[in-house]
Structure 1
Amino acid sequence: MTKPTFDMDAAIKALREGKDLSGKDGILTPLIKQLTEAAMRAELEEHLASEDKPNRKNGHTSKTMKSSAGSFELDTPRDRAGTFEPQIVKKHQTQLTDELERKVIALFALGNSYQDIRTHIAEIYGMELSNGTINAVTDKLLPELQAWRERDLEPIYPIIWLDAIHYKIKENGRYISKAIYTILGLNIEGKKELLGLYLSDQEGAHHWLSVLTDLYNRGVKDILIACVDGLQGFPEAIESIYPKTEIQHCVIHQIRNSMKYVASKNQKAFMADLKCVYKAATLNAAESALDELEAKWGDKYPMVIKSWRSKWPTLSAYFKYPEYVRKPIYTTNAVEAVHRQFRKLTKTKGGFANENSLLKLLYAGILKASERWTHPIQNWNLTLSQLAIHFPERLEKYISL
């Protein structure tokens, strides 16, 4: 039987009429079908020529193939002896390339729902994908995620930021809140690197201890500065694993927590006085401003002042550095930016069916976010010089100044 050939004139005419190259009824789909079938027939001819025993062609079987150009019926040639194993399109293979899978994962990494992904694939490629198919494709991220979570880390990170974000995950028929612990590091080159994601039933210093132990076991032997929120017991958890690490409590977290206890009519005036504390040029000036804050507001808001006093050693650690070092460490904003990326991905989802469905989505988001982390943070060379002075003998083996 003579095989139909691709009609170039008809294709050019269709193109001029504005028809799509790919997708449902795409111009290129018949050409891809023709080229694939021709290649497979040549593959069978080569197989038959190499056989010692008598063998011959035995018709073909049809199956629906999915490709980036659209779906089509592929006629796969057969041999009488059943020894032919096609390589171009293998048995049980239904996708011509992995381009479709890459497209699904790319859409998934942008936070698209399965419904949005199905609609997009149908419009572009002219094929229908089930939720099960999409789930099977995105599940391919899970082994990669596991390898990423277990990878070896660098021996020293000059700065790390630690924070948690919460999600609803279905467990035993009901949705419960769980914490995702995120650790963002700044490596010796000044580039951001997400060190790990950890999931727990709730945020707490005890679980942070296991997280830090995991970092140590994966090769992190020293951390110069750890920027954390105000969780009770957090500094002690860090100190138990990294006793030489300097703790910097997030000033912005402290301000937010303080303002919860200040009457709305006093917030503007209180904030103006508080700004003199955390924006002071020197530690002495900050402590004087704190004294003045207490003198003015201590009777009205004693618990707020007490909180600043009790945490002052870790709240004020950044004052010893110049402005370009203070900026990245006085707040956990760097890791909160990662959490903002996570929220963009998950904003349309009220909850997750299981832990893996959440983790693979966040991991896809990490891959997307880290594409921008190709350069050191601003003033990194100056920052590194300052850290070498403040932390003598801890950086020399890793850098040459």
Structure 2
Amino acid sequence: MPQAISIPDEIAAFNDEIVAIRRDIHQHPELGFEEVRTSALVAEKLESWGIEVHRNVGRTGVVGVLRAGGGNRSIGLRADMDALPLTEETGLPFASTSPGRFHGCGHDAHTAILLGAARYLAQTRNFEGTVVFVFQPAEEGLGGARAMIADGLFERFPVDEIYGLHNSTITPHGHVHVSPGPVQAGADFFDIVVTGTGGHAAHPHAARDPVVAAAALITALQSIISRHAPPRESAVLSVTSVNSNVSYNIIPETVHLRGTVRTLDGPLKARIAERIRAVAAGVAVGHDVRVEADVRDAVSPLVNSAEHAQAIADAARAVVGDESVTTDWRPSMGSEDFSEFLAHVPGAFFSLGHHGDIPLHSPRFFLDEGILPVGSALFSRLVEERLKPAG
């Protein structure tokens, strides 16, 4: 029988308010670098609990700083705030009021969880040192972590270690997954424009058809993974969009392709990017068209420190019990830009399971709010253990 989850009385007492905050954010979702309302709400709550607040870090990010005792060590805790460009189809009474914007990845819950931990730690102050609460914008592929780092995040708010979490529907409620080493893939995004000469579909010999060239390019791109990535290395290349003229009888001038590459190895990711450009150049010659390939480094692979993954596991066992902690997390080919923080500061990232079987990024995704106090308790326990008062 799994051990009962241990939630501090203080967190249980104000959990209804944390749930209300999450629903407010859910009802008013904002896309990356547009989190003006969300940031203001976060800052207001932090200030009301006596936490030092810094706004507009990395454009729309918020940083809270809480000090206690005389310790000189510091810990960073991070939550992301942005929504997805989706229209919600859950039918919830607090569903999104903005068509085309939806918290379909649970970032509203991550923000509420970190606010819950901030309130508890500000109330109890059972630690010695500094906690830096990082509320990050634009996690969904827009580079919010890099924006905060470029804005001097770690120079202005230095931390010795940093932690983050993500909700999960593939593990049971309250189950924590954390492991050392690579746990999330790095990502590149690519845009490719194939330009030929348009013409009448009945006379293709008089045109240089970019559609046929694009089709050949899509097929050729798949060979990069099968013939250039080592068999024991995980790598994925997906073309996710093909756009051209919509008429039946016109050969278009251009075709636009876009897609993504995911790998767990940084050097391999760079080699695949080189091959995309080389394959594109070869197709251009073979089909007598022009091909412009823009491949962009979006997110680095996420690699957990062994020490800090163990710290999460230890804290989690105290909150959710031994049977609800797994430390052999199989790497995911999904990406998470918390990796950018880990490139500068050691730390670890973990997943927290909850009820439900609808996957993330679905317009019908439904988050189990029962994990809100669990996540707050996990973050809080982590701080209290890592910044434990002497004696």
* TM-score normalised by L of structure 1: 0.30
Larger radius of gyration: 1
| Structure holding more helix per residue | 1
* TM-score normalised by L of structure 2: 0.31
| Structure holding more strand per residue | 2
